[in-house]
């Protein structure tokens, strides 16, 4: 481990500025737009929702990430997702990019856009454009500005989500920082929610995309709040090269160190999304160990964190381990239920609950104490090999239902 | 349609008797065991959970259905699922069958068993055996007795679930009746929850199994309460031949009429399970029409009824159609989102919500009125062909969370 966790988020890396504004798109009296800007053009990587129903900004960004050499800014709004909005919605992406390009004096096809919120409504373009004009003069590279942006992109999130690390590459300090938002409709596949990672590393577009694509599998794609894969899932990773490190163009040692550092940022953000799932009271981590392959372990871990019954039991601090074994059983992955050991763990201790598929002799009282912590881990050993995987979810609560029964009103 | 819907359940068909008892297995002061008995040996068909973690009674019944020529009785208990109970649990299935065989003077390998309730606890065999001894002398063929059995197998169900039809086959009146229980951990795959169907039809074991296997795909397998496929899902279909119809041994006209009648019983029971999902306030029916194939339509319909966000919106009477389109989009089935029309319908009226993938010009007030009924249907036309499928689910409510946060206590 060669990286160091540092303070900050999307403005932590050299040359990245941000701003935010209260544009009144849907929320009242709170910032709901953010702008990320790099002083020089960036190599841009991105991963996007696998949902067939893709929001307009996803289509816009895919075009830039896949077909254009550089990106230099990102305009983000909360409140309206610009999904299921047809050609009109796509036109609004272009108009947003045009407005930002004009005031920032860059090319419109280097302006990425991202939206989150209600599906099916059109963006109020007058407010979006006014927001862009308000933010541009306020761009700055302070950590406070990054934090303000992380707050501006929240919807039902209750906490802002930032992470940053630094790593030495070729004698130069490279920084990677990011922010994201999550909360509901969170079950990323291939990619995730909205995440924005910036780095001053010098790295080719190909290597950047490779590093991101590989790492989302182990981070964002291992998170689920409610099993619903959003229409807007997007992670963008911008690298502007201002750290001055020897440019990474192949999978050398620097690439590995960069990827390890990137993983730390992504994993931290992914866990923050799970731990702030809509209405949740606990981060629920599930580890499958002793698997034959990482894929098998991942399928099992994700099946457990998406089980409504398991999630409700976690909310109730109930060691209802049968539900965990049940969710593993219908996952589609094969294993021998009669070999499974299961442990619950938190700050309050660690306890074996199942031994070889049947109940171990444990104290329900102690189990409840362990499950009453804000971060709870269940580890299942399936005794087939050495592979493992970890997934992150949260409990299912009254507030999840409350939030989603009247989200639009 | 040649069948007629009639009163009754598992005792509607000739020669089938039932009884129930309060055995005190886990619940207090309520019946929690049921016994079904046929005066003559029956051809038995069954479909069972696809969960790798199979409860002991599932393994016991699979052996009888797949390997033995006849069955004549079913012993059912609520409160404890006898799942994840190892060899001891399987031994208790045998002891239950032995106890029933002895008092009913039949073979132990013609006694099916079924359990539902908490996973991981062992059955209190003294109470089970006392329950069997108490029920045997009380066996009777009245509709009231069938209804009492339907009540005895309930767990978190709030309503007993019965259905029966009669159909003329070769000049004889054949009756098919059944009962089931559902409520939570309901996401049948290949089969379902606990369902017990009895018929006096004369039909070969092969044809009986074929009819059941085909029909569960369109009925129980199209139901989901919470996406969790149980360890105990079982549907048993017993045919004792006492109607005296010409025995069905091939897929002739009588087979088709029998299957149509069976479908009516199964669909009625399946809808009752969805409409009485844990904590639910509404039956949510989703129809996909204009599909290229039935499989495609089924995948899309099931994805919508299992979407937590859609279910929460139904609870909130909120026409949040973006969530429906989103759930269709991540289903894995392909379609063109920009061709989809969507309608909401209930006793309060019918309303087009989406036209070609974007919002139609509809009244939110009218939509809310339609969605405030206890039975709500969403129909999506994907305009690709003539195939269709229907799935049944329910809304996601505070009470679902409440029930499952402290189910064991």
- The contacts of residue B338 (CB under 8 Å, 6+ apart) are A86, B356, B357, B358
pLDDT at position B279: 86
Residue A307, both tokens: 């089980």
The Cα angle at residue B291 between residues B290 and B294, in degrees rounded to 5: 130
ipTM of the complex: 0.78
Of chain B residues 334-363, which have a CB less than 8 A from chain A?
334-335, 337-338, 354, 356-359
DSSP B193: S
Name beta bridge partners: A65. Answer: none
Decide if B326 and A398 are in contact by the 8 Å CB cutoff: no
User: pLDDT, tens digit, for every residue of B34-78?
Assistant: 999 999 999 999 888 888 888 899 999 999 999 999 999 999 999
Residues of A classed as catalytic: 192
3-state SS class at A345 = strand
Q: Can you say whether the dihedral through the CA atoms of B290, B294, B299, B302 is positive or negative?
A: positive
Residue A257, both tokens: 């160190």
- The contacts of residue A264 (CB under 8 Å, 6+ apart) are A3, A5, A163, A165
In terms of residues, how long is chain B?
A: 409
Q: Can you say whether the dihedral through the CA atoms of A22, A26, A29, A31 is positive or negative?
A: negative
Residue pair A66/A254 in contact (Cβ under 8 Å)? The answer is no
Rounded CA separation B7/B165 (Å): 8
Residue A191, both tokens: 């990619």
3-state SS class at B336 = coil
What distances in angstroms separate CA A145 from CA A20, A128, A210, B334, B352, one per listed residue? 8, 19, 29, 42, 45
Rounded CA separation A150/A276 (Å): 14
Decide if B231 and A329 are in contact by the 8 Å CB cutoff: yes
Among B51, B327, B405, the residue with its CB nearest the CB of A316 is B405
> A368: alpha, beta or left, given left = phi > 0 and alpha = psi -120 to 50?
alpha
- Of the candidates B188, B200, B190, B208, the one whose C-alpha atom is nearest the C-alpha of residue B8 is B200
In the predicted model, residues of chain B with pLDDT beneath 50 are 190-192, 409
pLDDT at position A191: 41
Q: Judge whether B24 is closer than 8 Å to chain A, CB to CB.
A: no
Q: What is the DSSP string of B302-330?
A: HHHHT-HHHHHHHHTT---HHHHHHHHHT
One pLDDT digit (tens) per residue for chain A, 409 residues? 688 999 999 999 999 999 999 999 988 889 999 999 999 999 999 888 878 888 899 999 999 999 999 999 999 999 999 988 889 999 999 999 999 999 999 999 999 999 998 888 899 999 999 999 999 999 999 999 999 999 999 888 888 989 999 999 989 999 999 998 887 666 655 444 788 888 989 899 898 998 888 888 888 877 777 777 777 778 889 899 989 999 999 999 999 999 999 999 889 988 888 888 888 899 999 999 999 999 999 999 999 999 988 999 999 998 888 889 989 988 889 999 889 999 999 999 999 999 999 889 999 999 999 999 999 999 999 999 999 999 999 999 988 888 888 755 4
User: pLDDT, tens digit, for every residue of B189-231?
Assistant: 534 478 888 898 989 989 899 888 888 888 887 777 777 777 7
Query: What does R_g of chain A's alpha carbons equal in angstroms?
Result: 21
User: pLDDT, tens digit, for every residue of A136-153?
Assistant: 999 999 999 999 999 999
pLDDT at position A235: 81
pLDDT at position B188: 58
The Cα angle at residue B231 between residues A398 and A311, in degrees rounded to 5: 20
pTM: 0.80
Domains and CATH numbers, chain B: 3-275 (3.60.70.12), 283-405 (3.10.20.340)
pLDDT at position A56: 94
Rounded CA separation B29/B23 (Å): 9
> What CA dihedral angle connects A204, A207, A210 and A212, to 10 degrees?
-70
- Of the candidates A263, A218, A387, the one whose C-alpha atom is nearest the C-alpha of residue A3 is A263
Decide if B315 and A359 are in contact by the 8 Å CB cutoff: no
Q: Judge whether B5 is closer than 8 Å to chain A, CB to CB.
A: no
Among A184, A323, A408, the residue with its CB nearest the CB of B318 is A408
Instruction: Output the 3-class SS for A263-295.
Output: HHHHHHHHHHHHHCCCCCCCEEEEEEEEECCHH
DSSP A207: H
3-state SS class at A397 = coil
Instruction: Output the 3-class SS for B11-73.
Output: CCCCCEEEEEECCCCCCCCCCCEEEEEEEEEEEEEEEECCCCCCCHHHHHHHHHHHHCCCEEE
pLDDT at position A38: 94
Of chain A residues 135-194, which have a CB less than 8 A from chain B?
184-185, 187, 189
Kind plus residue range of the DSSP H or E element containing A394? strand A387-394
Residue for token pair 């996952």: A331
- The pairing of strands B71-80 and B111-118 is parallel
Residue of B nearest to A190 (CA): B330
């Amino acid at each position: 481990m060669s990286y160091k966790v540092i303070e900050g988020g999307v403005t932590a890396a050299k040359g990245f500025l941000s701003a935010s504004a209260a544009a009144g798109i849907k929320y009242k009296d709170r910032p709901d737009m953010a702008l990320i800007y790099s002083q020089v053009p960036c190599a841009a990587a991105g991963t996007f929702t696998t949902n067939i129903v893709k929001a307009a900004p996803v289509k816009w960004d895919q075009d830039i990430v896949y077909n254009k050499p550089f990106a230099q800014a990102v305009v983000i709004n909360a409140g309206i997702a610009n999904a299921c909005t047809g050609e009109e919605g796509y036109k609004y992406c272009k108009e947003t990019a045009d407005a930002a390009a004009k005031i920032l004096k860059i090319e419109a096809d280097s302006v990425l856009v991202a939206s989150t919120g209600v599906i099916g409504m059109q963006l109020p373009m007058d407010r979006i454009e006014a927001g862009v004009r308000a933010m541009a003069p306020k761009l700055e590279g302070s950590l406070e500005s990054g934090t303000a942006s992380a707050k501006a992109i929240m919807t039902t999130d209750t906490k802002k989500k930032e992470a940053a690390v630094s790593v030495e590459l070729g004698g130069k300090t490279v920084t990677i920082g990011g922010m994201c938002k999550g909360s509901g409709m969170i079950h990323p596949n291939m990619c995730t929610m909205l995440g924005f990672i910036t780095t001053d590393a010098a790295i080719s577009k190909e290597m950047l995309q490779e590093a991101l694509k590989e790492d989302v599998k182990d981070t964002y794609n291992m998170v689920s709040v409610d099993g619903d894969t959003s229409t807007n899932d997007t992670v963008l990773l911008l690298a502007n090269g201002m750290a001055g490190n020897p440019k990474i163009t192949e999978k050398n040692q620097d690439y590995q160190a960069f990827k390890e550092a990137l993983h730390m940022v992504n994993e931290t953000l992914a866990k923050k999304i799970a731990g702030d799932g809509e209405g949740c009271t606990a981060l629920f981590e599930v580890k499958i160990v002793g698997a034959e392959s990482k894929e098998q372990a991942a399928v099992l871990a994700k099946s457990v964190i998406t089980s409504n019954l398991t999630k409700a039991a976690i909310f109730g601090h109930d060691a209802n381990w049968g539900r965990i074994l049940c969710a593993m059983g219908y996952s589609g992955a094969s294993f021998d239920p009669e070999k499974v050991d299961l442990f619950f763990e938190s700050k309050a201790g660690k306890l074996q609950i199942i031994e070889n598929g049947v109940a171990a002799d444990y104290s329900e009282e102690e189990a409840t104490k362990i499950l009453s912590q804000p971060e709870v881990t269940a580890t299942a050993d399936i005794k087939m090999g050495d592979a493992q995987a970890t997934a992150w979810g949260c409990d299912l609560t009254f507030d999840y239902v409350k939030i989603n029964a009247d989200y639009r009103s």
